[in-house]
């Protein structure tokens, strides 16, 4: 039986640990049992050593392994960016900065955005993820598919008191990402939001955040299991994209006028093409899912005449993360997840590629 790790005021930090790595794009994963642990004396200013207890698995982790984005990640790589755990050691403060308010033993979350300069225009406007100096967990730096991860004091997110670490992990990327995307749509209470990919890791959270924020949700996905899952969240309008004309179905459900917004978390390009056809005038297409080599083909005339808004939404900022976690901790959003061992990651990726996962997989790093 795995011994549960609890918050402590000090940690005995080992020299080696368990981690999952890959050394080349789409290459084999290695289940490391003696991967080096960064020692406290080696932490750079602003860095924090985190004892990772759980980590979610995101579609972005799959993209990093497949190498199908027009960006290069570091190699070899420890992926993962939905880590929840405890502060184990705090490095020296950055020059001229106040010491971190974090304490050893604090429950924290590791997010996709690991670090940014916090001084440029983008950072000052709350767009830290667009910072030219941004670092990303599990992409440009090693992430949370390990037991002891190095992250950054300025961007670690404090977890709400008493919120289970396993439930917090998926919120740290999937939850924050969809919460931010819904905010970008700038909707009014009662307006209609369509969520293609609603039964997936991002989608099942997007549905709940949208409902918690007072919007009417139309969910698009396929299969009886996903329909049942979404019904458990109170979704009554479900469209199976494999069984008919999606555009017609949305228009029928909205009395022929279309939706106010589409939050596309699906990873297929067709979902974007359909969304532009069922949005009503002044509707917003919020782009979240990133199909490889996907393009949005928008007719300029109708985009202008209908005053459609096409908005790319990356991950949320530090405040978005706090808000998303608070909503979940209040019981308004529940992550549907299955816990598996860290060593199951290669299998999780294969199931993710086959589109057979419902909800989220959370890996136990203990």
Return d(Cα 48, Cα 92) in angstroms, integer. Answer: 9
Contacts of 206 (CB under 8 A, 6+ apart): 178, 181, 182, 195, 198, 263, 265
Question: Per CATH, the architecture of 16-158+336-364 is what?
Answer: Alpha-Beta Complex (3.90)
Domain boundaries of the chain, sorted by first residue: 16-158+336-364, 175-312
Contacts of 208 (CB under 8 A, 6+ apart): 233, 332, 333, 334
Return d(Cα 270, Cα 253) in angstroms, integer. Answer: 20
**Paired sense of beta strands 16-22 and 216-221, if any:** unpaired
Report pLDDT for 200: 86
Q: What is the pLDDT along the chain (366 residues), one digit of tens a residue?
A: 345 677 888 899 999 999 999 999 999 999 999 999 999 999 999 999 999 999 999 989 999 999 988 889 999 999 999 999 999 999 999 887 788 899 999 999 999 999 999 999 999 999 999 999 999 999 999 999 999 999 999 999 999 999 999 999 999 999 999 999 999 999 999 999 999 999 988 999 999 999 999 999 999 999 999 999 999 999 999 999 999 999 999 999 999 999 999 999 997 889 999 999 999 999 999 999 987 778 898 999 999 999 999 999 999 999 999 999 999 999 999 988 999 999 999 999 999 888 777 778 999 999
**DSSP code, position 243:** S
φ, ψ for residue 55, nearest 5 deg: -145, 135
Alpha helices in the chain (DSSP H): 59-66, 121-124, 165-170, 176-185, 203-212, 224-231, 246-253, 270-278, 300-305, 318-329, 345-353
Report pLDDT for 1: 39
Contacts of 72 (CB under 8 A, 6+ apart): none
The helix/strand/coil state of 244 is: coil
Structure tokens at 119: 């001084």
Return d(Cα 62, Cα 39) in angstroms, integer. Answer: 29
Return d(Cα 2, Cα 136) in angstroms, integer. Answer: 30
| Helices (runs of H) and strands (runs of E) counted in the chain | 11, 18
- The answer to whether 16-158+336-364 and 175-312 have equal CATH topology is no
Return the H-helix or E-strand segment holding 50: strand 47-56
Question: Per CATH, the architecture of 175-312 is what?
Answer: 3-Layer(aba) Sandwich (3.40)
Return d(Cα 81, Cα 266) in angstroms, integer. Answer: 20
């Amino acid at each position: 039986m795995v011994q549960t790790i609890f918050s402590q005021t000090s940690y005995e930090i080992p020299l080696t640990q368990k981690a999952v790595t890959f050394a080349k794009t789409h290459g084999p994963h290695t289940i490391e049992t003696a991967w080096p642990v960064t020692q406290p004396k080696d932490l750079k200013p602003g860095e924090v050593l985190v004892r990772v207890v759980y980590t979610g698995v995101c579609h972005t982790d799959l993209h990093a392994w497949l190498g199908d984005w027009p960006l290069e990640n570091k190699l070899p790589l420890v992926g993962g960016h939905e880590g929840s755990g405890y502060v184990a050691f705090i490095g020296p403060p950055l020059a001229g900065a106040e010491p971190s308010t974090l304490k050893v033993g604090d429950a924290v979350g590791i997010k996709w955005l690991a670090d940014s300069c916090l001084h440029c225009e983008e950072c000052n406007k709350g767009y830290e993820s667009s910072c030219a100096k941004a670092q990303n967990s599990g992409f440009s730096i090693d992430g949370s598919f390990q037991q002891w991860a190095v992250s950054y004091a300025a961007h670690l997110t404090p977890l709400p008191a008493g919120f289970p670490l396993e439930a917090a992990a998926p919120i740290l990327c999937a939850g924050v990402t969809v919460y931010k995307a819904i905010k970008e749509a700038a909707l009014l209470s009662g307006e209609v939001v369509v969520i293609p990919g609603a039964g997936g890791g991002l989608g099942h959270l997007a549905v709940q955040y949208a409902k918690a924020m007072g919007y009417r949700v139309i969910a698009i996905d396929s299969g009886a299991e996903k329909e049942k899952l979404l019904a458990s969240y109170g979704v009554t309008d479900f469209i199976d994209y494999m069984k008919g004309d999606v555009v017609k179905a949305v228009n029928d459900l909205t009395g022929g006028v279309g939706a106010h917004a589409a939050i596309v978390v699906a990873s297929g390009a067709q979902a974007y093409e359909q969304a532009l056809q069922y949005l009503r005038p002044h509707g917003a297409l919020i782009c979240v899912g990133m199909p490889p080599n996907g393009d949005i083909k928008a007719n300029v005339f109708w985009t202008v005449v209908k005053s459609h808004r096409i908005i790319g939404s990356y991950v949320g900022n530090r405040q978005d993360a706090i808000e998303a976690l608070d909503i979940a901790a209040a019981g308004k959003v529940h992550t549907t997840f299955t816990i598996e061992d860290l060593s199951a990651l290669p299998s999780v990726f294969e199931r993710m590629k086959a589109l057979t996962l419902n909800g989220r997989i959370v890996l136990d790093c203990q």
